[in-house]
Chain A
Amino acid sequence: GIQVEQSPPDLILQEGANSTLRCNFSDSVNNLQWFHQNPWGQLINLFYIPSGTKQNGRLSATTVATERYSLLYISSSQTTDSGVYFCAVPAYSGAGSYQLTFGKGTKLSVIP
């Protein structure tokens, strides 16, 4: 199956700082999603971004499918950005499976 690696595993930021989270994957994908899991465990879908760039407020994401990586940018971080950020891709290349494989996540702590 497709492997997913996220970096860094942990990140501590001062409020107001910017950060970049990375997701590498081992095969071509037609589906890549970024999720934020808040400290209460709720997973929120941030982006569906198999290729290209999208922006949503202070967050943006870029996927370079040919080089098999995706980046999540957080600008002007706030304490509410704290939590774990996961990247997820299909478990297998090709059609027929709807399993997503998640990376181990980047744990972000934003301190005031």
Chain B
Amino acid sequence: DTGVSQNPRHKITKRGQNVTFRCDPISEHNRLYWYRQTLGQGPEFLTYFQNEAQLEKSRLLSDRFSAERPKGSFSTLEIQRTEQGDSAMYLCASSLRPTGGFSGANVLTFGAGSRLTVL
């Protein structure tokens, strides 16, 4: 178990460029989440996958953002036509669907994040 891995750790780009982040979750985890965190704030939910299905998307997520989890393993988050307001830390987390019908237990393990700076 190597934890949740995110790449790249830092990305500096110019406004209008596209960027892509990758997340490799803990191997046995079937749930994967993307969150965004700006300075001085708590993480904000962006989207959630169970296996390869994208089951929830935040209303905050504009159509410039797209996420995939093609084989239910790693995930990518792409931001098209970046804007300065997209500058943030993009966090990936994973969790294991609990057994025994305990629907509340959904303990998240976060990666170290990918910091995006849009100039």
Q: What is the interface of chain A, defined by CB distance below 8 A to chain B?
A: 30-31, 33, 35, 40-45, 48, 50, 86, 88, 91, 95, 97-105
Contacts and interface: CB of A to CB of B under 8 A. Distances in A.
Contacts of A102: 42-44
B96 interface: no
Interface of B: 31, 33, 40-45, 48, 55-56, 58, 89, 91, 93, 103-110, 112-113, 115
Contacts of B43: 43, 86, 88, 100, 102
9 contacts: A41-B113, A43-B43, A45-B110, A48-B105, A86-B42, A88-B43, A99-B45, A102-B44, A105-B42
Contact of A100 (B89, B103, B108, B115): B108
A55 B44 CA distance: 28
Top 4 A-B residue pairs of the complex, sorted by shortest distance between their CB atoms: A102-B42, A30-B104, A43-B110, A99-B45
Contacts, number: 58
B41 A101 contact: no
A34 B106 CA distance: 13
A40 B112 CA distance: 8
A105 B105 CA distance: 22
B56 A33 contact: no
Contact of B105 (A31, A88, A91): A31
Given A99-B45, A101-B45, A105-B42, 12 more contacts: A33-B107, A41-B113, A43-B93, A45-B107, A86-B42, A97-B56, A98-B31, A99-B48, A100-B43, A100-B45, A102-B43, A102-B44
Given A31-B105, A86-B42, A95-B103, A42 B110 contact: yes
